[in-house]
Each structure stands twice: as structure tokens, then as C-alpha cells.
């Protein structure tokens, strides 16, 4: 059985969305200084690295992490290899075997962007029409391999379409080593009370 860790490491220098808090890891106790343990202070935004967007992220009365069923974050997931696409719309999605699938992870050329030190605004994203298509197909969770499912210059339409229809968004994945196919997704976000989003550890397990 092979397990793919599709989470990006939380380390200083991790690219963040412009305006979001940068990740800081500050030693508080250090063995090298004679302390009895290693303890660090971690400062980060709730949408840092691999993270989950809940409907509360953009909707006034949207579902928060407290009310999100864990069953949605565990189970069969389809990984689609869409490398080479400049954007992901209905035409790119129509050829995927989505019948009966609830969880879809989009592997694009974005996974290579994690090797860059700075944020890259030229990432591949889902179009508004693509979001509508996924809703019509019954997708309940969609993931992508950079910090947003929506274009850098987007107006929020993609997020509103997905989250407004209770489609949870898993962003900041690293799918660079994952072949297209069907896997078991295990994704557990931090349990932040009333949270609109949270960093998550996400892995894929081969059936």
C-alpha cells in the first residue's frame, strides 16, 4: 500500500497569498541553550499552505469547521491530471469520469510552483463556468495544487459558486508525485472553533 503525502511542509519561506500573514516559527525553548525541551511559537494565517476553505470563508452564515462533517474529508477521491491546461473550465472537465464521484483533486502545472520562494500569481485555476460544472456534477469537495482555486484576478465568483453550494475547497496541495487515478483521501484540518478555514494534513492512500 502506497501513501502519498499531498501536504506542503509548513516552513518559513512558504509562499503565502498576498496580504495573508506570513508563516513564522520562533524558538521559545531550546535544548542547545540548556532548556529541558524544544518548544516553538508558530504564527500563521488560517489559509496557510495546504488548507481547507469552508462556506464561512466568504458567506456570512456559511458552515464553519465545527459543523463540517468529517465524512466529507475522508473517502474516495479522483485525481485528475490536467497539466498543460491554462485554465480549467467545462471543456477540460467534461472528459473526466466524474459520474458517482464526490471528491475531485486537480493536478496541474501548479505543483511545480512550490519550488519558487515567492508567490506566483500566474497559477492555473478553475473558471467560473468550471465551478458551475462541478456543482452540476455533484462534486462536494474539490482540491487544487496552489493557494487558490480561483484566478489571482478573480472577483470571488468561483469561491461563491462552490462554497455557496456547500462544495468544500481544499487548496495548497502538492500533487507532483501523484498519478491520475482513484485514491482514498484522508484530510484533517485543525479543529478551530468557528473557523472559516484551517491548515490541514492531507494524504492519499492507494486502494
- 159 catalytic? Reply is no
Distances (CA, A) of 191 to 46, 128, 166, 185, 196: 11, 30, 19, 18, 11
Residues 6 or more apart from 63 whose CB is under 8 A from it? 54, 55, 56, 166
DSSP H helical ranges for the chain: 90-93, 128-136, 157-163
The CA radius of gyration of the chain, in Å to the nearest whole number, is 17
Instruction: Return the active site residues.
Output: 57
Amino acid at each position: 500500500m502506497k501513501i502519498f503525502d499531498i501536504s506542503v511542509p509548513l516552513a518559513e519561506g512558504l509562499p503565502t497569498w498576498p496580504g495573508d500573514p506570513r508563516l513564522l516559527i520562533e524558538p521559545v525553548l531550546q535544548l542547545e541553550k540548556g532548556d529541558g525541551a524544544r518548544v516553538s511559537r508558530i504564527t500563521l494565517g488560517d489559509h496557510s499552505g495546504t488548507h481547507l476553505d469552508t462556506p464561512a470563508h466568504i458567506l456570512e452564515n456559511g458552515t464553519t469547521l465545527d459543523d463540517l462533517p468529517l465524512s466529507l474529508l475522508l473517502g474516495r477521491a479522483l485525481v485528475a491530471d490536467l497539466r498543460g491546461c491554462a485554465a480549467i473550465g467545462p471543456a477540460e472537465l467534461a472528459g473526466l469520469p466524474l459520474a458517482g464521484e464526490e471528491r475531485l483533486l486537480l493536478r496541474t502545472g501548479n505543483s511545480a510552483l512550490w519550488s519558487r520562494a515567492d508567490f506566483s500569481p500566474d497559477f492555473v485555476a478553475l473558471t467560473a463556468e468550471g465551478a458551475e460544472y462541478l456543482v452540476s456534477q455533484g462534486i462536494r469537495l474539490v482540491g487544487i495544487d496552489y493557494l487558490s482555486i480561483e484566478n489571482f484576478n478573480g472577483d470571488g465568483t468561483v469561491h461563491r459558486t462552490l462554497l455557496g453550494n456547500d462544495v468544500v475547497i481544499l487548496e495548497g496541495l502538492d500533487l507532483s508525485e501523484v498519478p491520475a487515478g482513484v485514491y482514498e483521501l484522508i484530510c484533517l484540518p485543525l479543529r478551530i472553533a468557528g473557523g472559516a478555514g484551517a491548515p490541514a494534513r492531507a494524504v492519499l492512500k492507494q486502494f
